[in-house]
Structure 1
Amino acid sequence: MMKFLILAFAILWAGAATAQHSHGSTKGPNGGVVQDVAGVHAELVVAGNTVTLNILDENNKPTSAKGFSGSVLIVSGSTRETVPLAASDDTALKGEAKSAIPAGATVSLVLKNSVGKSGQVKF
């Protein structure tokens, strides 16, 4: 029984570890950081109080954002704000924070793709 539990844990851990991989400081075509989430590459670009999430394919080329939805949680010091993202064009989602997003803020993304797969990643 113990061997079975160890094997089951190892399989579950390996699956979770490989489900989404980070591109860390990889820059996307629009200058933002790229992360894998919900089966796509997501490029986060922040300018002033605008959050833009560009949806990219495996080659970091723009791909359709039709049917995607999401939100970001922006944390800076003790300030926290959730910003819903809406389709702004064929390949991006956008949202507006109440005020300018400071450099160094942590941005956590929850994204749902067009077929219902969802994921979460921190930038």
Structure 2
Amino acid sequence: MKRILAVIALVLWSGIAAAQHSHGNVKGPNGGPMHDVAGVHAELVMSGNVLTINLFDEANKPVSSKGFSGSVLLVSGNARETIQLAVSGDAALKGEAKAPIASGAQVTLVLKNAAGKSGQVKF
């Protein structure tokens, strides 16, 4: 009986902990979707063929992009493209697709921070 209660408590606690860092459909300060990855909040903003990943801390204040690296896998229909991101300004990474990005394209971000922590998230 104690074992069952311990498992139930663990499952409930895990769900609560996961919910604390979920952004769901939250929009970032620049109007793009935002998710937690590699210890920061990453906001995706797309315009034409340019992808910008803006970096923020828990208080939604810009985080220096110095030392960050990343790439994006862009999938639209049968087309796939991997885009390398480069530091752009103080708190962003940018990359350019070969063609304008279609509405509804799937974007998977792989991000590595200056301390070596990495993560992946789908937008």
Q: TM-score, normalised by structure 1?
A: 0.84
Structure 1 counterpart SS, 2:107: strand
Alignment of 1:54-73 (within 5 A): 54-73=54-73
CA distance in 2, matches of 1:22, 1:78: 30
Structure 1 stretches of 5 or more lacking a match?
none
- Matched residue, 1:84: 84
CA distance in 2, matches of 1:21, 1:49: 30
Alignment of 1:110-121 (within 5 A): 110-121=110-121
- The structure carrying a bigger strand percent of its residues is 1
Count of matched residue positions in the alignment of Structure 1 and Structure 2? 114
- Per-residue deviation, 1:76: 0.7
- Matched residue, 1:75: 75
Structure 2 stretches of 5 or more lacking a match?
none
- Per-residue deviation, 1:22: 3.2
CA distance in 2, matches of 1:96, 1:59: 29
Structure 2 counterpart SS, 1:25: coil
Residue 46 of structure 2 corresponds to residue 35 of structure 1: no
User: For residues 82-110 of structure 1, what are the alpha-carbon distances to aligned partners after superposition, in whole Å with 9 as ceiling and x for unaligned?
Assistant: 00000011100000000000110000000
Runs of 4+ with deviation above 4 angstroms: none
- Per-residue deviation, 1:24: 2.1
Letter in 1 for 2:22: S
